[in-house]
Each structure stands twice: as C-alpha cells, then as structure tokens.
C-alpha cells in the first residue's frame, strides 16, 4: 500500500469561499424569536467577522482531513523508545465516560464507586511492583519522580541528617531524573555505564557515601538491558541507609515477571500512560502512581483511600506525608482507563505483556542486527522492552544520520523511533515495538529500515530528501523547534496578516 497523508495544500476552513450555506437550519418560531432578541449596544456588536458559511459535508471533510494529517498508533506503528506507544483499547474510553458526571468535592457517600476504583488501584499497582501501597495523586511520570525525591529528602530530614545532598543517577537515565533531583537542590552525580551498557559497580562503590540520599535507576535500563547486579546495587545503596528509586515509566519489559520491590527498590513511580495503555494524548493529561514499601509508605502523598466497615473514604494521611503533589485525587479519568486495562488483562494477561514485548524487541533485533552500518552495544545480550541501535557507522560512511532514517520511515507509513537518546549512544535509534504490534508489522518495519539503509549506500540523496508523503515535509530544524511554527494557529495568523481572511476585530 502506498502511504499518503492529507496535506496542508488544500484550503483551511477559513479559506472556503462558500456563502449562504448552512449545515443545520434550526426552525425558530416567530414568537420565540421575539423573546430571545437581545439588545446589544451598538459599540459592542462585531461587524463583518467573515466567518465561513459551510455545509455539513464541508465541515466534516475539514475535520476528517485534519485528523488524517496526524499520525497515531490507531493508524500505524509508533516505535518511540522509552514511550511505550502500545494500543489503547477503546473500551477504556467508554469507562472514562462514566466519570464525566463526578465532582471531586462531592460527598464521599455519593462516590463510593470511584473510591473503590482508587482503592483497588492503590493495591493492584503495589502488587504488580512489589510495593506495599501506591498513591495515584501524581499527574505524570515526572511528577511521580518529584514526589519520590521529596519523600527521600523528607526521610533524611526526619532522621536529622543535614548532609544528604547527593542524588545518584544512571548516565542512561531519562532527563526527568536529574531534573527532579535538582529541583530539590540535590547534587546530581551520574553513574557511568560500563561497556556492557550496565551500571559500573566499581564506580558505584567508590561514590556511595554518607552524603548519598538515593539512587534513581530503572531496570531494565534505558538500553533495554536488565541490570543483573541489581541485588548488589541495592546492598551498597542500603549500606548507608540511602534509598533506591525505580523509574517505572516503562514497566513493560518485566510486567508480571519480576518486581522492583523484590529487586530491593524502596520507591517506584509508574506512568499509567505508557505501561498501562492510557493514551498519551497530544499534550493532554497523563497519570502516574507513586508507590512505596517499608518505612517509605509513611511519606506518600495524601490523601489515600481506605476502607472501613465496607465504606471507602479519603481519610488516610500517611504519618510523614510530603503533602499533595496535585489537586484532588489524580487524573481520575486516566486512573479508570488503567483500571479497565488491568481488569481486561487479568493476572495471566499482565505477565504476557512482559513476555510478548520482550519477544517483539528480540525478534526485531534478529531482523536488524546484521544490517550494515547499524551497531548494537552488547549484541549478544537479550533486550527487554526496547533496543538502542547506533547509526554512527552509517553516518560516517554515507552521510545519512539517525535523523534521516527517522524522516525516511515517516514516508513508509511508520512513526519514527526515538532518536539521539539515550545521550551515551551516538546517532541513537531507540526502538520500542511493544506487545501490541502484529508480527507482520514488525516484519515490514524491519524491511523499511533495511530498505532505507540500502538506499543510503546507493542513493543517499533519496533518503536525505525524505519525507515526501507526509502532511508536513522536511522542516527547518531551528524554526520547527518553536512550537507555534507549524500549527494551524500560526497559519491562520499568517493568512490574517496577508489579508486573506478577516480579522476578528
Ligand atoms: C516518559 C518517561 C518519564 C517521564 O514521564 P512523563 O509522564 O512524561 O513526565 C520518566 N522516565 C522515563 C524512563 C520515561 O520514559
């Protein structure tokens, strides 16, 4: 199938020339018309706002075409590493609709159902992660990290320690880890990976001291590799009573197989968007969870739902709580979506996620690892949920970079992988296929990558001029970094300036 997206070349709704067309004519009785006549002062009335007059068909075509200029997991594979762009079952939306009439200030006796959902999720997610309790207050992964960092900070404060000012972070960590730590004035110390892509234990041993507050780590790490020395890492961190923090944004690779709690972690954050199939939603709200075990449970954000005599209430305030991380009780619609996802999978389905996402990644590796120009750290180590290739050799030999491969993939009907992350891999292409992509799609993705790389060696200019079939062609990277540059708002503004559409004044 040839891939073709709708483009900007066709007119926007503001540019339609039609007049005296209506979508739906609502009959109003003359009597009623008289009643609703409002006497607006002349100076407040808008003159000639030049709105388009359109038939229903034209409006439908406009919005359908806009939707076709976009790309999402509902129309193709989105192999963005560290993002877990799995399919979001549509039944989640039906369930979320049930929450639309709730208000957070309603009396508890009238919202027992949603409180039960939160209560179950506090415990289910704890069971999945090997923790004791989870709070669903946090509206995103990074907010979960900030909550975790605050909990670690308060823990040392309560113990009367003044000098715990160092937060250790793996050098492959997501940028939000050092950002969260430095927001609380911790000195961020990067722990280098060894040449197998794992935490260098010897480096760690030297750095851990009475100043270490905690270690923020993710396992499998950002290269998709399992930190096999995790129990030793936990031992070193705990030897100075520092806390081990698990960045569980992408839990896919171990879901239902191993649990951070059993690896020695004290605090875990989860992204319900990503692992628990909540849509990432173009800049819209996400949802997280922050989970703890042992003494750290006392520091969780409040309020938590508790159950007494068969009634649910928001009365549980942990002893040393860090307070609230957001308003009310979290992004409840997304909590419900994740709840439905977990219910739908059941215990058996959950452990299949870990197995199938790992299988998908290693299947892709088997299809790509002998491709000329692509390199892989520790090629014989199996990956979990994702894999990072380096296109450094390809770039040197052909001038075609990871960025160019990404653009050429767009032309072939795939979203691009994450590129240039993690920062310790040059020309990184970070691919996360997830468990929901069918084998045939993995095959054609691998085929597309091979095709692009062959072309790089035979006709590099062909790759460098991609994408050609997308709504937006190759952008000026500098201008494109300004978010307003490619949006309809910007285009409308320009059209107004050029006098092609009316002004609202
Ligand atoms: C996505 C991600 C985060 C941040 O999550 P947000 O919800 O975007 O704030 C943190 N860590 C890792 C590893 C991630 O992939």
Q: Is the per-residue pLDDT at 270 higher than 60? A: yes
Q: Return the pLDDT at 284.
A: 63
Atom of ligand 1 nearest to the CA of 286: 7
Q: Return the pLDDT at 492.
A: 63
C-alpha–C-alpha distance, residues 284 and 140, integer Å:
11
User: Mutation test of ligand 1: which of 84, 149, 174, 280 has the most ligand atoms closer than 8 Å to its C-beta?
Assistant: 174
Q: Is the per-residue pLDDT at 505 higher than 50? A: no
How many C-alpha atoms does 465 have within 13 Å on its Cβ side?
6
CB atoms within 10 A of CB 192: 13
For the four alpha carbons of 38, 40, 42 and 48, in that order, the dihedral sign comes to negative
CB atoms within 10 A of CB 78: 23
Q: Is the per-residue pLDDT at 205 higher than 90? A: yes
User: Mutation test of ligand 1: which of 79, 81, 82 has the most ligand atoms closer than 8 Å to its C-beta?
Assistant: 82
- The 10s digit of each residue's pLDDT in 362-397 is 999 999 999 999 999 889 899 999 999 999 999 999
How many C-alpha atoms does 111 have within 13 Å on its Cβ side?
21
Residue 143: which pLDDT band, with cuts at 50, 70 and 90?
very high
Q: Return the pLDDT at 423.
A: 86
> pTM for the whole thing?
0.88
Atom of ligand 1 nearest to the CA of 176: 10
Whats the size of the chain, residue-wise? 505
- How many angstroms separate the alpha carbon of residue 222 from the centre of ligand 1? 11
Atom of ligand 1 nearest to the CA of 288: 7
Tell me the percentage of the chain whose pLDDT exceeds 90.
Answer: 70
Tell me the helix, strand and coil percentages in the chain, rounded to 5: 40, 10, 45
Residues with CB under 6 A from ligand 1: 82, 140-142, 174, 176, 218, 247, 249-250, 271, 286
Q: Return the pLDDT at 476.
A: 73
Measured by CA distance, the residue closest to atom 15 of ligand 1 is: 82
Q: Is the per-residue pLDDT at 24 higher than 70? A: yes
User: Mutation test of ligand 1: which of 249, 270, 338 has the most ligand atoms closer than 8 Å to its C-beta?
Assistant: 249
- The 10s digit of each residue's pLDDT in 51-70 is 778 888 888 988 888 888 88
- Cα–Cα separations (whole angstroms), residue 36 to 45, 47, 231, 441: 16, 20, 73, 58
Q: Return the pLDDT at 499.
A: 65
Q: Return the pLDDT at 495.
A: 62
- The 10s digit of each residue's pLDDT in 311-362 is 999 999 999 999 999 988 889 999 999 999 999 999 999 999 999 999 999 9
Measured by CA distance, the residue closest to atom 2 of ligand 1 is: 249
Q: Return the pLDDT at 502.
A: 53
- The 10s digit of each residue's pLDDT in 87-116 is 999 999 999 998 888 999 999 999 999 999
How high is the mean pLDDT of the chain? 90
């Amino acid at each position: 199938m040839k891939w073709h997206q709708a483009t900007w070349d066709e007119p926007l709704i503001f540019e339609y020339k039609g007049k005296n067309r209506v979508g739906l004519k609502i009959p109003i009785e003359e009597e009623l018309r008289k009643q609703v006549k409002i006497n607006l002062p002349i100076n407040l009335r808008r003159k000639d706002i030049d709105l388009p007059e359109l038939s229903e068909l034209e409006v439908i075509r406009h919005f359908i075409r806009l939707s076709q200029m976009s790309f999402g997991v509902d129309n193709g594979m989105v192999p963005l590493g560290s993002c877990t762009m799995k399919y979001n079952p549509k039944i989640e939306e039906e369930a979320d609709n049930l929450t639309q009439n709730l208000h957070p200030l309603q009396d508890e006796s009238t919202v027992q159902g949603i409180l039960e959902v939160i209560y179950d999720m506090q415990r289910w997610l704890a069971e999945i992660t090997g923790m004791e309790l989870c709070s669903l207050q946090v509206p995103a992964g990074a907010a979960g990290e900030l909550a975790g960092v605050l909990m670690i900070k308060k823990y040392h404060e309560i113990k009367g320690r003044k000098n715990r000012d160092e937060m250790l972070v793996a050098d492959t960590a997501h940028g939000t880890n050092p950002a969260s730590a430095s927001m609380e004035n911790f000195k961020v110390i990067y722990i280098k990976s060894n040449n197998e892509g794992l935490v260098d234990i010897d480096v760690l041993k030297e750095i851990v001291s009475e100043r270490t507050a905690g270690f923020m780590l993710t396992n499998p790490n950002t290269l998709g590799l399992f930190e096999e020395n995790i129990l030793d890492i936990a031992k070193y961190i705990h030897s100075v009573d520092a806390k081990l923090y698990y960045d569980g944004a992408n839990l896919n690779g171990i879901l239902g197989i191993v649990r951070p709690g059993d690896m020695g972690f004290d605090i875990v954050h989860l992204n319900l968007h990503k692992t628990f199939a909540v849509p990432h939603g173009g800049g819209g709200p996400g949802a997280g969870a922050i989970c703890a075990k042992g003494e750290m449970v006392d520091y969780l954000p409040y309020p938590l739902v508790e159950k007494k005599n068969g009634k649910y209430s928001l009365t549980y305030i942990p002893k040393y709580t860090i307070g609230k991380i957001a308003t009310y009780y979290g992004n409840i619609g997304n909590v419900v979506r994740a709840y439905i996802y977990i219910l739908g999978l059941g215990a058996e389905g959950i452990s299949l996620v870990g197995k199938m996402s790992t299988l998908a990644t290693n299947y892709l590796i088997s299809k790509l690892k002998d491709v000329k120009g692509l390199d892989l750290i520790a090629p014989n180590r199996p990956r979990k949920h994702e894999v990072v290739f380096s296109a450094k050799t390809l770039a040197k030999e052909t001038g075609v970079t990871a960025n160019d491969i990404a653009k050429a993939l767009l032309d072939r009907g795939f979203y691009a992988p994450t590129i240039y992350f993690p920062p310790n891999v040059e020309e990184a292409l970070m691919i996360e296929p997830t468990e929901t992509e069918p084998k045939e799609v993995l095959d054609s993705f691998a085929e597309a990558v091979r095709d692009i790389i062959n072309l790089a060696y035979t006709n590099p200019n062909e790759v460098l001029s991609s994408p050609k079939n997308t709504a937006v062609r190759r952008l000026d990277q500098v201008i494109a970094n300004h978010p307003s540059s490619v949006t309809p708002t910007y285009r409308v503004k320009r059209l107004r300036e050029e006098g092609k559409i009316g002004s609202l004044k």
